[in-house]
Amino acid sequence: MPLVLTFPDINPVAVNLFGLKLHWYAIMYLLGFAVGYWLMRRRLHHEPFRSITTPKAWSPTDIEDLLLAAVAGVIIGGRLGYVVFYKPLDYLADPLAILRLWDGGMSFHGGAIGVVVAVGIFAWRMGRPFWQVADFLAPAVPMGLMFGRIGNFINGELWGRPAPADLPWAMIFPTGGDVPRHPSQLYQALLEGLLLFVLLWFYARKPRYRGQVAAAFLIGYGAFRFIVEFWREPDAYLGFLSLGWSMGQWLSAPMVVVGVALWLWFQRRAISDVEAGVLLADEDVAAASPKAESETDEERSSNASVENDDESVEKLANGEATNASSSP
């Protein structure tokens, strides 16, 4: 047996208080939502959201409502996605098992669909454009995914494929047989979580055309998930599907295609609107103006002062004299 890491065998139950059990997996979800809330609060200081005036400026209350909608979308969509994508026949035979969330079984792709629906409802109720809300939320999502994958690792589930004998971080999982495996949960936490967050956060710091940040998330997550699936063991009851791909890869590939198509479409639509002289949204104006990306608050104040002086000069030129100028 080669030298491999031993799974830390962490008790999945973090707290057991008089029979009331709180699992680490649930704690990871709570941490993900808490960090997501904090990141969305930070987004209020980024363009274009700190200067949006139509339909109205974003507020902390809006963030709380959006977070609640996203939580509902993740839980409902994630559970139903797992039922439909992975074990439809099992749950068809026992429909009440769908409600037993404590038994595990969540699908990211189902959760993503649930969040899209939740965002759509939130945008409709608040009178905001759907893609504006999606752009606001997208950069905060990867950190939630990272905590979720850490929860998978603590549970010793969703482990990777057999690893080479000389891989120094190969690990034997309790339910994975006496075989060194890739800790693919940690791969996903780093790629789909931390790395995607860093890339998307910095990408979203500069003004982009409406919808492009959300499209970038689809591209990034789909690509990273497709790649990491080469080291993740496919579900035993599904195995490999057509082309030797796993279910995760078949669900991720369309995300990349749709993300690229949307990004290009948003770019071309905004450029066409500029050429046609169509009035753009706040974020599109910021993205179309290179000056808006680097202008500081001090420069904005200075520019406003210059504009006021210009207005005064224009009034004088038009004969709108002040009291001082009308005296003999």
Q: Which residues are annotated as a binding site?
A: 149
Rounded Cα–Cα distance for residues 82 and 136 (Å): 27
* The token pair that represents 9 in the structure block: 């065998």
Amino acid in the structure at residue 325: S
Rounded Cα–Cα distance for residues 15 and 87 (Å): 30
CA 46 to chain centre: 16
Rounded Cα–Cα distance for residues 319 and 225 (Å): 68
Complete DSSP assignment for 106-167: --HHHHHHHHHHHHHHHHHHHT--HHHHHHHHGGGHHHHHHHHHHHHHHHT-S-BPBPPTT-
Q: Are 46 and 208 in contact (CB under 8 A)?
A: no
For residue 191, give Cα distances in angstroms to 75, 172, 320.
22, 22, 64
Burial class of residue 213 (count of CB atoms within 10 Å of its CB; 0-12, 13-18, 19+) = buried
Rounded Cα–Cα distance for residues 11 and 281 (Å): 51
Residue linked to tokens 């994508």 = 85
* The token pair that represents 135 in the structure block: 């752009």
Alpha helices in the chain (DSSP H): 24-43, 60-85, 88-93, 108-126, 130-137, 141-155, 184-188, 196-205, 212-228, 247-276, 282-288, 290-294, 297-317, 323-326
* The token pair that represents 265 in the structure block: 């479409």
Closest listed residue to residue 250, CA positions, set 239, 262, 260: 239
